[in-house]
Amino acid sequence: MLIVATIGMLINILVAWLMHRGSQGGEPHSHNHGTDDAKVAEQKPNNEEPVNLNMQSAYLHVLSDLLGSVAAIIAALLMMGFGWVWADAVASVIVAVLILISGYRVVRDSVHILMEGTPANISLVDVEQKLLEDSQVQKVHDLHVWSITSGLNALSCHVVVDGEMSIHESNILITSLEQRLLELGIHHATIQVESSSHPQNIAHSDALVCDISGQLPDGNSHIGHNH
């Protein structure tokens, strides 16, 4: 038992080191919409990128095997030195509890992504302020930020501008806003530009996030989307 557990511990230490070394060499994600590559490369997110859940799950699996080997070694030594045959069962329970705690965190983060929740490292207020820094943006509403996968964030929103803005000018504005959002770690943005006289904009409240309800559409309301 002691020999096999020791061999297993050494192998898992090697695998964990290789995985950690491989994760350090990953390239940061970049999303280019036809702008200058050097300019985009300079605009990296200032906030810390979330850990990739696939790599984290694999890493936790290796650590659980490592903890199991360590627990078996300790139990074997206690059984050899003191005759405590129950040490193996106690060590197994302790390792199982540690695995459940770490596994719960991975499942929680996975469900948050699947339910399109706002990433923990992004504030909607900060996103709104970043968009309003552009003098052409008068107001922001229907703002939604979610993760497509860990480390890849997406955004959709409506920005209110001067009604005299042309299509060409709005395209330039959207490109500028996308570059600003890259600084917050948002790599893919869908931005709708509209004037203050837009029918749906008139019916909007001042709330940043729209109110979703199950009411039937009437007039200019969205289907299942009431303001």
Domain ranges of the chain: 2-114, 124-202
Q: How far is CA 35 from the centre of its chain?
A: 25
124-202 maps to which CATH number? Answer: 3.30.70.1350
Q: What is the pLDDT of residues 4-56, one digit of tens each?
A: 989 999 998 998 888 877 665 544 444 444 444 444 344 444 444 455 777 77
Q: What is the pLDDT of residues 68-113, one digit of tens each?
A: 889 889 999 999 989 888 988 898 888 888 888 878 888 888 888 8
Please, which residues bridge with residue 195 across strands?
161
Question: What is the spatial distance between Cα 167 and Cα 161, in angstroms, rounded to a whole number?
Answer: 12
* Contact yes or no for 149/113 (Cβ under 8 A): yes
Asked if residue 222 has pLDDT above 50, the reply is: no
Higher pLDDT, 64 or 79: 79
